[in-house]
Amino acid sequence: MRRSKAVLALDLGGTKILGAVVGPDGAILHTEQVPTKANEGGDAVMSRLAALTQQLQAHAEQERQDILAVGLATPGLVDSQAGRTIGPVSNLPGWGDRAIGPELSSQGNLPVQVVNDANAAALGEGWLGAARGCQNYLMVTIGTGIGGGIVADGRLVAGAHGGAGEVGHMVLERNGPRCPCGWYGCWEALAAGPALEARLRASWPGPGSVPKLDALCQLAKGSHQWAQAQLREEAELLALGVGSLLNLLDPELILLGGGVMAAGGETLLGEVQAALKRQPTTFPPGQLVLAKLGQQAGVIGAAYAALERAGAKLKR
Ligand SMILES: [Zn+2]
How confident is the model at residue 281, as a pLDDT?
Answer: 87
Provide the domain count of the chain. Answer: 2
* Position 316 in a domain: no
Does 302 lie in the same domain as 284? no
Does 199 lie in the same domain as 113? no
CA–centroid distance, residue 5 to ligand 1 (Å):
41
Does 219 lie in the same domain as 168? yes
* Position 235 in a domain: yes
165 has pLDDT over 80? yes
The pTM of this model reads 0.92
How confident is the model at residue 109, as a pLDDT?
Answer: 86
Average pLDDT, the chain: 93
Does 63 lie in the same domain as 152? no
* Position 279 in a domain: yes
How confident is the model at residue 221, as a pLDDT?
Answer: 87
* Position 127 in a domain: no
CATH number for the domain harbouring residue 34: 3.30.420.40
Does 74 lie in the same domain as 164? no
316 has pLDDT over 90? no
Instruction: Tell me the DSSP string of 24-57.
Output: TTS-EEEEEEEE--GGG-HHHHHHHHHHHHHHHH
Q: What is the pLDDT of residues 73-86, one digit of tens each?
A: 999 899 999 999 99
161 has pLDDT over 90? no
Angle at alpha carbon of residue 175, lines to 119 and 278, rounded to 5°: 65
Does 86 lie in the same domain as 11? yes
CA–centroid distance, residue 177 to ligand 1 (Å):
10
* Position 245 in a domain: yes
Other Cβ atoms less than 10 A from the Cβ of 38: the count is 20
Does 49 lie in the same domain as 137? no
CA–centroid distance, residue 185 to ligand 1 (Å):
7
* Position 314 in a domain: no
Q: What is the pLDDT of residues 95-104, one digit of tens each?
A: 999 999 999 9
CB 210 within 8 A of CB 204: yes
Does 287 lie in the same domain as 206? yes
* Position 128 in a domain: no
CA–centroid distance, residue 192 to ligand 1 (Å):
11
**Cβ-defined contacts of 38-42 (< 8 Å, 24+):** 38/14, 38/91, 38/92, 38/93, 38/95, 39/93, 41/93, 41/94, 42/92, 42/93, 42/94, 42/95, 42/98
Strands of 253-294, DSSP E: 253-257, 288-290
Q: What is the pLDDT of residues 257-290, one digit of tens each?
A: 999 999 999 999 999 999 999 999 888 988 999 9
* Position 315 in a domain: no
CA–centroid distance, residue 37 to ligand 1 (Å):
25
CB within 5 A of ion ligand 1: which residues? 169, 179, 181, 183, 186
How confident is the model at residue 108, as a pLDDT?
Answer: 82
Does 157 lie in the same domain as 259? yes
Structural domain including 23 reads 4-122+296-309
Q: What is the dihedral of CA 312, 120, 172, 275, to 10 degrees?
A: 90
Does 165 lie in the same domain as 105? no
Does 155 lie in the same domain as 110? no
Does 213 lie in the same domain as 177? yes
